[in-house]
């Protein structure tokens, strides 16, 4: 399932990504910083769910929501707002906004909304085997994990798990594990003051050099630069 994320604050986009991925790992997320970028994506992708900031430079979230409702049949809209005025709420209801989240976003409220849509939408009919493997990754990414260890824990043949995982997730097991660890590291680099070495260990990398190399390859900049840009 494709999910559109639109907010002019990068930290909000990162927060949404960080909490959505563990609950719905097969959702494909498209973060954008304004309505112009979002509408450009809409020419190429079909969206099923959108999280929209109500106030952005240029076209507002309410204006964007109205356009999305006209473009995609059945799209669900979650509006993110720091405003609770009646006029905003009235217009949002008229447009067909389905849910509201207020800023600053409260983790428990965001997770509740994500879980609601996770239950409503059958996004890829993931097999129990792959679902169990994903749960192990999300619960134990800090530990020394590999395909054989996870296969052993969920009592399946490693070769079979490897094939099923690639077919259903669209990534190899090792690529998914690395991507997940990097996403967690990105959040920790912004949210905490722990050293980069400590964060590297906490997300399951034994070598700081390897962590930095992987992070730069995936994100385009070093962990230090990433932290400096976002704090």
Give the residue with greater pLDDT, 169 vs 17. Answer: 17
- pLDDT at site 55: 86
CA 176 to chain centre: 13
Q: How is domain 128-230 classified at the CATH fold level?
A: Arc Repressor Mutant, subunit A (1.10.10)
Q: Please check the confidence at residue 32 and state whether its pLDDT lies above 60.
A: yes
- Which range, of 5-9, 144-148, 190-194, averages the lowest pLDDT? 190-194
- Mean pLDDT of the 212-220 span: 93
Q: Would you state the pLDDT for residue 168?
A: 80
pLDDT of residue 87: 59
The pLDDT-based confidence of 67 (bands split at 50, 70, 90) is very high
Considering the domain 2-120, what is its CATH architecture?
3-Layer(aba) Sandwich (3.40)
Give the CA distances from residue 143 to residues 122, 136, 139, 146, in Å, rounded to whole numbers and listed in that order: 30, 10, 9, 9
SS3 state at 118: helix
Whether residue 154 is predicted with pLDDT greater than 80 in this model: the reply is: yes
Q: Given this model, what pLDDT does residue 120 score? A: 64
The mean pLDDT value for 210-223 works out to: 94
Q: What proportion of the chain, given as a percentage, has pLDDT over 90?
A: 45
Percent of the chain whose predicted confidence (pLDDT) is above 70:
92
pLDDT range class, residue 163, cuts 50, 70, 90:
very high
Q: Is the pLDDT of residue 84 over 70?
A: no
Question: In the chain, where does DSSP find H-type helix?
Answer: 10-23, 35-42, 61-71, 86-95, 107-120, 128-140, 147-153, 158-169, 173-191, 196-202, 208-219, 223-230
Note the pLDDT of residue 50.
Answer: 96
Domain layout of the chain by residue ranges: 2-120, 128-230
Residue 80 pLDDT exceeds 80:
yes
Q: What pLDDT is attached to residue 22?
A: 76
How confident is the model over 117-135, as a mean pLDDT? 74
Average pLDDT over residues 7-36: 88
21/195: higher pLDDT? 195
**Whole-Å CA distances, 167 to 162, 186, 220:** 9, 27, 27
pLDDT computed for residue 101 by the predictor: 87
Res 125 pLDDT > 70: no
């Amino acid at each position: 399932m494709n999910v559109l994320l639109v907010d002019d604050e990068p930290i909000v986009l990162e927060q949404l990504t960080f909490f959505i991925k563990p609950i719905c790992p097969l959702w494909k997320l498209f973060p954008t910083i304004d309505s112009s970028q979002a509408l450009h994506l809409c020419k190429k992708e079909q969206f099923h769910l959108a999280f929209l900031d109500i106030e952005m430079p240029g076209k507002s979230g309410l204006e964007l929501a109205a356009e999305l409702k006209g473009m995609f049949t059945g799209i669900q809209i979650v509006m993110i707002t720091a405003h609770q005025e009646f006029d905003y709420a009235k217009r949002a209801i008229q447009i067909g906004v389905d849910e509201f989240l207020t800023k600053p976003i409260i983790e428990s409220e965001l997770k509740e909304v994500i879980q609601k849509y996770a239950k409503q939408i059958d996004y890829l009919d993931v097999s129990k085997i792959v679902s169990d493997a994903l749960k192990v990754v999300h619960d134990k990414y800090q530990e020394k994990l590999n395909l054989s260890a996870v296969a052993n824990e969920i009592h399946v043949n490693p070769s079979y798990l490897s094939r099923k995982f690639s077919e259903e997730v669209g990534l190899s097991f090792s690529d998914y594990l690395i991507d997940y660890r990097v996403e967690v590291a990105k959040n920790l680099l912004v949210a905490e003051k722990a050293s980069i070495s400590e964060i590297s260990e906490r997300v399951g990398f034994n070598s700081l050099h390897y962590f930095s190399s992987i992070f730069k390859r995936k994100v385009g900049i070093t962990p230090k630069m990433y932290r400096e840009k976002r704090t």
